Amino acid sequence: MKTHNAIIYHCLACGKIVHRDPGLEAPSCCGKAMVKAAAETIVENEDESAQPPDGALGAPPAPGQMHPRKPR
């Protein structure tokens, strides 16, 4: 498993969000430099064995496991 850091920038005028590698100049948007909102560590999977088993992510819940909808 490999990791790298990413800086998250935010435009205060329009709300656009951009991820950039550290050490790069801050991007500009709407005529002004974007502000640094946060930093995160991104994990990169090197091979398929690091992937979750089928159905672990993104699979819809089985019937009966869903929460009933609230009346409007």
- Please name each of the domains of the chain with its CATH number: 2-45 (2.20.28)
The predicted model gives 23-31 an average pLDDT of: 92
Place of tokens 């991007």: 27
Structure token pair of residue 13:
């005028």
Total-model pTM? 0.55
Check: CB of residue 42 under 8 Å from CB of residue 8: no
Percent above pLDDT 70 for the chain: 62
Mean pLDDT across the chain:
76
Rounded Cα distance between 60 and 11, Å, is 35
| pLDDT over 80 (residue 67) | no
Confidence of residue 14 (pLDDT cuts 50, 70, 90): very high
